[in-house]
């Protein structure tokens, strides 16, 4: 069982907020909810800011990142804000040339193409190059309501490695798996450098003012359980173990429910799950002594209001009123989503979440 100390530096309003109580598996008045990618293209307020700058500029200008973060929390009425940032800028000071190409998503122009390229990956001894992220955290924390926690985040070692090797997204992750299988020494070196850099990065987010962090292993679902155990689990665990025990870590993995027991073994106070498994089944697979986050299919938000209500209630029913459920989508909200449907989702969860004395 994961336990958290009562952080003396944290205000009573934050310590006793719905989200952190649920992360500690304590009873709450109603189910807390936040939405992955809650500041995004579906939101007019976000697009008004985004129309003036590129995506990377938005990430690197703290005042703008703070604005869209705080606005999303306020507009939606969610129980937590999540820092507006991206998984990949940490790779720039590690030696990678990153571009967000219009219509193509992130592109790394100098990916790892052979095992010897791992030698040019720089471990971040100093995260000063990412100061724009920490300044955004400080600005957001000052603007958020006293009882709303701020979540930081980073990519998991495997997911970042896959971007660095593939040069972008992939269907098969053949290049990543090829290096992983072909050269255990190069894979170990890459993982060590990523873990050390990510640990410094997430700890700096926490020091700047985040109350919890999420580790996104968005691509690990491409792996067989045996490969996850051998090549990924030790490094995800090393990262999570390097973070303060009194700060909840959400270990989010998507695409392969068979990995849930191993995901739990890798660590984290909260297991983030996608929609490919019933939430009740997922909780049993992960273990009853851990919190669970999820797991509505984001496409449900494109349906009609009665379907949204029915599907939301189905997830809440699967949670069974147990302490430790944080409602979320199984992945990020889609750009074509109507913001009114997201607001409706939050209202349904708050109205229908099981209340406790």
* Rounded distance between C-alpha atoms, residue 222 and residue 95, angstroms: 26
Q: What is the pTM of this model?
A: 0.95
- If you average pLDDT over every residue of the chain, what do you get? 95
Q: What is the pLDDT of residues 79-90, one digit of tens each?
A: 999 999 999 999
Tokens of 163: 């971007």
Quick check: 354 pLDDT over 90? no
Quick check: 184 pLDDT over 50? yes
Q: What is the pLDDT of residues 249-261, one digit of tens each?
A: 999 999 999 999 9
Model pLDDT, residue 303: 98
Q: Residue 355: pLDDT band by 50, 70, 90 thresholds?
A: low
Q: Residue 6: pLDDT band by 50, 70, 90 thresholds?
A: very low
Radius of gyration for the alpha carbons in the chain, expressed in angstroms and rounded? 19
Q: What is the pLDDT of residues 134-150, one digit of tens each?
A: 999 999 999 999 999 99
- Domain borders along the chain are 12-352
Tokens of 307: 């379907």
Largest distance between two CA atoms of the chain: 59
Q: What is the pLDDT of residues 43-75, one digit of tens each?
A: 999 999 999 999 999 999 999 999 999 999 999
Q: Which residues are catalytic?
A: 37, 41, 50, 86, 163
Q: What is the pLDDT of residues 215-239, one digit of tens each?
A: 999 999 999 999 999 999 999 999 9
Model pLDDT, residue 9: 60
Quick check: 2 pLDDT over 70? no
Mean pLDDT along residues 202-208: 98
Mean pLDDT along residues 265-281: 97
Quick check: 293 pLDDT over 70? yes
Tokens of 288: 């009853």
Model pLDDT, residue 1: 34
Name the DSSP class of 128: G
Q: What is the pLDDT of residues 302-353, one digit of tens each?
A: 999 999 999 999 999 999 999 999 999 999 999 999 999 999 999 999 999 8
- Do residues 249 and 216 make contact, with C-beta atoms less than 8 angstroms apart? no
Hey, is 296 helix, strand or coil?
strand
Quick check: 104 pLDDT over 90? no
Q: Residue 159: pLDDT band by 50, 70, 90 thresholds?
A: very high
* Rounded distance between C-alpha atoms, residue 282 and residue 85, angstroms: 29
Burial of 109 (0-12, 13-18, 19+ CB in 10 A): exposed
Nearest to 212, CA basis, from 323, 84, 325, 83: 83
Q: Residue 10: pLDDT band by 50, 70, 90 thresholds?
A: confident
Q: Residue 5: pLDDT band by 50, 70, 90 thresholds?
A: very low
Q: What is the pLDDT of residues 127-136, one digit of tens each?
A: 999 999 999 9
Quick check: 278 pLDDT over 90? yes
* Rounded distance between C-alpha atoms, residue 140 and residue 171, angstroms: 36
| The CATH number fitting domain 12-352, selected from 3.30.9.10, 3.40.50.300, 3.20.20.210, 3.40.50.2000 | 3.20.20.210
* Rounded distance between C-alpha atoms, residue 193 and residue 197, angstroms: 6
């Amino acid at each position: 069982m994961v336990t958290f100390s009562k952080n003396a530096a944290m205000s009573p309003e934050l310590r006793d907020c719905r989200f952190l109580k649920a992360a500690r598996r304590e009873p709450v008045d109603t189910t807390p909810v936040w939405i992955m990618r809650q500041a995004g293209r579906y939101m007019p307020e976000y697009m008004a800011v985004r129309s003036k700058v590129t995506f990377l500029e938005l990430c690197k200008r703290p005042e703008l990142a703070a604005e869209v973060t705080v606005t999303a929390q306020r507009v939606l009425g969610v129980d937590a804000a999540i820092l507006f940032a991206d998984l990949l800028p940490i790779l720039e000071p590690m030696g990678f040339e990153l571009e967000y190409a219009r219509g193509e998503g992130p592109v790394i122009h100098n990916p790892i193409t052979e095992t010897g390229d791992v030698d040019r990956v720089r471990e971040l001894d100093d995260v000063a190059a990412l100061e724009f992220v920490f300044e955004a955290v400080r600005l957001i924390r000052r603007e958020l309501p006293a009882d709303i926690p701020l979540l930081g985040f980073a990519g998991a070692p495997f997911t970042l490695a896959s971007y660095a090797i593939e040069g972008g997204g992939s269907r098969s992750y053949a290049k990543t798996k090829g290096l992983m299988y072909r050269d255990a020494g190069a894979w170990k070196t890459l993982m060590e450098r990523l873990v050390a850099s990510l640990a410094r990065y997430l700890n700096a987010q926490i020091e700047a003012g985040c109350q919890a962090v999420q580790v996104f292993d968005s691509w690990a679902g491409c792996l067989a359980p045996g490969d996850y155990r051998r090549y990924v689990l030790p490094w995800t665990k090393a990262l999570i173990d390097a973070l303060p025990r009194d700060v909840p870590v959400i270990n989010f993995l998507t695409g392969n429910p068979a990995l849930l027991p191993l995901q739990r073994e890798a660590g984290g106070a909260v297991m983030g799950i996608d929609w490919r498994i019933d939430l009740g089944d997922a909780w049993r697979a992960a273990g009853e002594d851990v919190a669970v986050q999820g797991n509505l299919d984001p496409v449900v938000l494109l349906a009609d209001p009665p379907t949204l209500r029915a599907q939301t209630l189905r997830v809440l029913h699967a949670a069974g009123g147990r302490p430790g459920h944080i409602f979320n989508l199984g992945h990020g909200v889609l750009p074509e989503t109507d913001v009114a449907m997201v607001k409706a989702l939050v209202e349904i969860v708050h109205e229908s979440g099981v209340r406790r004395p």
